[in-house]
Chain A
């Protein structure tokens, strides 16, 4: 995936772990923005308002 297979050993491992970390941070920020935007509406919906 993304050509990481061509990188071997510790360089490949660092790149791979870096990608997982980057994805985690992007998802955290992205879902955070989504939560701020949609969160209050969904909470109101769940409260049955």
Chain B
């Protein structure tokens, strides 16, 4: 049985998968194309359709998640516009660098090794931070909206100490030099351009650890930027007819729901433990990418499926942890609330 030109079973699977991705996207501001494109590839879709449909889906989900974060006052448009400018320049330079490496015949090795090292490195850094020092890790606490200077990561304090005018005031009471923001944006864009990835997993931690804005603002602003990068990217692919609406529409229907849950969870979850899961998800992502690359090198397609199972398992684990922590926090608040006198 078909609905809108797609089998009902597949439609349901896409909607369910969308809920899972939307939850992670709304909560962390990352994880869209990272999850969708490999899944579509393993399902047998051609590469251009998988990449283009993944990108169009990320565009739609980022619109929804940004609107939700805007309602919560977690989008800094000034920072977003500056990040777009710096990132775009960085992506262009990265793309040129990638072409140069392709000419030298070292692009594939460089991209694979850097991608795995970066995912694993950021994952290990966040996990170590969460396990050893709660004060400087990722935090969605309401009080983190206005962090004290000493609560900021050390590197963010150093960046904020360079008072090169003009100075820019950001949400969360943060003041940073315009040039430092552009430098961070350029560096994250450079990595995105070199690796050919969306870059949410680089940019969101960079906004928190380097620029020093609170995590909810880092997530909201990152999503705002993805609206533009995803929109332009999917438009370019759509011109070649590579975007498949029968994939994008049901995924989006599910992720819209998940993104609301994820974004709402950012304001209720006290997630010291979630930080660990987030770091572990990146670490497992690094392992999954490494397995896929090894599969490509030794021509063992089965490793693509193993890679996808690792990614989906990690995503399910983390989104489950977000939901469980949200419910636990709601119940804790209820128990802590003063009971009415009889």
Q: Which A residues lie at the B interface, using CB under 8 A?
A: 1-2, 4-5, 8-10, 12-14, 16-17, 19-21, 23-25, 27-28, 31-32, 35, 43, 46-49
Contact = CB atoms under 8 A, between A and B. Distances in A.
Contacts of A46: 326-327, 330-331
B4 A1 contact: yes
Interface stretch (B58-66, B156-164, B278-286, B295-303): B58-66
Interface in B191-250: 231, 234-236, 238-239, 241, 243, 245-246, 248-249
5 contacts: A1-B246, A14-B235, A20-B59, A46-B327, A47-B333
Contacts of B5: 1
Contacts of B231: 17, 21
A13 B235 contact: yes
Nearest to A1: B245
Interface residues on B, range: 20 to 34
Contacts of A10: 239
A17 B56 contact: yes
A20 B64 CA distance: 11
Contact of B239 (A13, A35, A47): A13
A28 B234 contact: no
Main secondary structure of the interface of B (DSSP, over half): helix
Contact of A20 (B60, B241, B326, B331): B60
B260 interface: yes
Given A24-B60, A27-B257, A31-B257, 10 more contacts: A1-B249, A13-B236, A21-B231, A25-B63, A28-B63, A43-B330, A46-B326, A47-B331, A47-B333, A48-B331
Nearest to A43: B330
Nearest to A7: B241
A20 B234 contact: yes
B256 A27 contact: yes
A20 B333 contact: no
Contacts of A1: 4-5, 245-246, 249
A14 B56 CA distance: 12
B57 to A, nearest CB: 8
B61 to A, nearest CB: 8
A45 B68 CA distance: 23
Contacts of B248: 20
Contacts of B63: 21, 24-25, 28
A43 B231 CA distance: 34
A27 B255 CA distance: 10
A16 B334 CA distance: 46
Contacts of B256: 24, 27-28, 31
A33 to B, nearest CB: 12
B67 interface: yes
B252 interface: yes
A4 B327 contact: no
B330 A47 contact: yes
